[in-house]
Structure 1
Amino acid sequence: MKKLLAAMLCGALATGTLAGCGNKAEEKKTEAKDDTLKVALCVTGAVNDMGWCQSAYEGLKLVEEELGCEIAYTENVQAADMTSAFTEYASNDYDVVIGHGFQFGDPALEVGELYPDTKFICIESDAAAENVASYVMKCEETGYLQGMLAAGMSQTGNIGFIGPVQGASLVKIMNGYEDGAKEVNPDIKYQTAWTGSFTDTALAKEAAQAMIDGGADVIGHCANESGTGALNAAQDAGLFATGDSYDQSALAENAVLSSAVYHVPELIKTAVTDIKEGNFKGEVKELGMAEGIVELVYNKAMEDKIPAEVKEMVDAKEAEIKDGSFKVPCDTKDRAGK
């Protein structure tokens, strides 16, 4: 059953439960003003995952608080349900429907044809039409930097990286991680795995453990909620790891060296502001480190574990990315089995 919820969850999130899960959203108690935008969000996992989905939920709350939008969301949306979730929001007169992930591109184009008065925003997709726009983050940039860090910290010359479900927006991170690692150590062994799930932490932990058994001493991921399992495997083994989407230091504070932080709230605010001010364009927009949307954040508790020369190397490359003197390759071709 779809979990359509009015976003009034602060107390629920604090207790780790989602009040009203599985039930239709309650109507807002106050009447919306004529110029109030109704904005809905669809995510593939839980909105309290301390990662990809939570970052989008925080963006939804941001547009409610700062732009006065009326909001709702659906979590744990499976691929087979994306079209119906979009249709339900559009048919209920939502002005903006946001799909958080590349998988929402085709459903947005399909439903967008039927509901031309609704604007559809897809994050990390390549979908574009008169009423459909995609906002793409240059996540490969932080992938590259974290790959350099992983290679610089590895004592075995063997690192691992775990993804959830194959898609261009995730493959580019996995490839960026490899490219960065090989800039530091061209002969490094790079183990990769796709779990096939955005939420199954056990699968990611199992994949990470297999890599550790195979000699990897640094584990990275872009596996959404399931990536927590990979971080835990690294910490349990007394090894290093890198986080993704959110500052994940607290999830494995004795393992996580750094996190790739995607400022999705600001991205969502930018998209909704474009619509609110009449500046919407049906196109694909790319934003990265130079625009402040993608950021590398170190775990302060682990910074003393990183040799000065390694951190200086990574920081120097970050500066080159920001000033445009170095462009990280955006390779979306799966390299598995190469």
Structure 2
Amino acid sequence: MPPESPADAPSPAAFGDRFDVYDVQHRDGELLYFGQPGADRATIERELWPLFREHGYDVRLTDRTGERVLVATPADAADTDTGVPWTNVALFLATLASTLFVGANWYYVDPFSPAVVRAIPFTLAVMGVLGTHELGHYVMSKHHDVDATLPYFIPFPSLFGTMGAVIRMRGRMPSRNALFDIGAAGPLAGLVAAVVVSVIGLVLPPVTVPPGVANSASAVHVDFGYPLLLRGIAAVLGEQFAYADPRTAVNPVVMGGWIGMFVTFLNLLPVGQLDGGHILRSLVGETAGRFAPLVPTALLSLGAYLWIVRDAGNAAGIWLLWGVLASVVSLSGTVTPVDDRPLDRRRVALGVVTFVLGALCFMPVPIQLG
């Protein structure tokens, strides 16, 4: 007769012939089932995972002191605070303020005057695109019963007033399907928002640079590269990014779409814990690790080319930085789902389409300052 487990935990009798339990212990918040496996690790974890999740536990098969052990830990979702997420709220409000402050510069108004309200469209565009991206991850995480936080916006007094937004996911990934759906949902949702924002921005009237700013010796000129996707939208609408009068500039709302597309490309880099790394891992399985060195190599090479050949220092710095970041991200490895069976053809096709859309968001020279 198998030993008994706590009332709120799975009974060893429910494991069938997959894991023959001879002892159950409770140590440091973990529930340990010592026994003999009746199948390989992947099969045992895949088949017993739903049972443990039903009781509020994550589970993994490992070795402890020379014995095979199923280690059950309370799922983070059970401990999630259901109160007001004050940290998320505070960061959201701070990012609203920072994007509004920076946006005032795009409209050439005093950020400390009532005229700052003119920058609200810019703020809504930027935060709407970034928020939609993260909410795509959040909604799909909830769909697959993966514990995830609400988005954390990151305020920063940069060119756009923010360094983006992130969500945190806890616990193991149940399947390749879940890994793909969660990974792809963010870029696809954010890209839809970026397209909508771009269309709105392109049809809005341009802004005029005040003579005092245009003629100032200390003025910094910012040149943006535009990805193929954004150029295609402008071509369909019959709109333009440059005007005969150098003091006329595209409506700042367009920059919300530009940011969304640039963020989409960066997130779809197929390495480590980035969205692209999740999608690639779900598409090709464990062989995804072979591609890890290629991404930072390509980015560093692009940065070196722009620095040495094109003399595009600002743009080169962007890719050199991301080459280093991609190297660091690759060290974290990829997510290993509990159920590692291949994706269906529909998801494979959508994965390929997602990477193609990401490529349409690529800009060799995103920004140049002069």
- What TM-score do the two structures reach when normalised by structure 2? 0.25
Report which of the two has the higher share of strand: 1
Report which of the two has the higher share of helix: 2
The higher radius of gyration belongs to 2
